[in-house]
Chains A and B, each alone.
Chain A
């Protein structure tokens, strides 16, 4: 069964600190993995997208890693800011499949405290 599991479910850190969010998946055959940021009351916004051959990708203070062998990804946030408070969703797509094989994780709710 295609699944995407994220941890932790929620996380609270102080402004300026770093944090790492985890994503494990069983989607096969793998096509790509995306991290989205979803602010409260808004739709998800793409942060990074990685294919099988990529093992790291950065977008400003966000750095995503991918280990296709262990089927794990992480999203590292450096020097957190209050505006980083949001849900972070890992989304994995299967290759040669229709849109129904785009599997969403439940997300990690990140809160940044001043």
Chain B
């Protein structure tokens, strides 16, 4: 069974540019989560989808971040325009029960 996959694995962009991260959850998992870890800090929650609906987006830092999950399958997280403080590792996780399965993360560097 394929795990959670994320694309790209790394992204280096300049301040002001746009970046879109993609997450493909484990097939059949209704719950999809986005998390972020900035340098030296703990992983923090961004938002939670149940199928295509946003269940909780209280962790989204500001309106430069937009997450979608059309059709309840894969999800995208767009950052527009990117700022220096957006640099970090963005993790996606999915679940269909108590355990969460994490993807490998996308390492974003904003210069």
Task: Give me the interface of A with B, judged by CB distance under 8 Å.
Answer: 4, 32, 36, 41-46, 49, 89, 98-100, 102, 104-107
Question: How many residues of B are counted as interface, with CB atoms below 8 angstroms from the partner's CB atoms?
Answer: 25
B4, B42, B48, B93: the one within 8 Å of A98 (CB): B48
A107 touches B42 (CB 8 A): yes
A42, A45, A89, A99: the one within 8 Å of B33 (CB): A99
Chain B residues within 8 Å of A99, by CB: 31, 33, 45, 47-48, 55-56
B43, B56, B101, B103: the one within 8 Å of A104 (CB): B43
A46 touches B55 (CB 8 A): no
Interface string of B2-39 (1 = CB under 8 A from A): 00100000000000000000000000000101010000
Scan residues 32-78 of chain B and give those whose CB is less than 8 A from a CB of chain A.
Answer: 33, 35, 41-45, 47-48, 55-56, 58-59
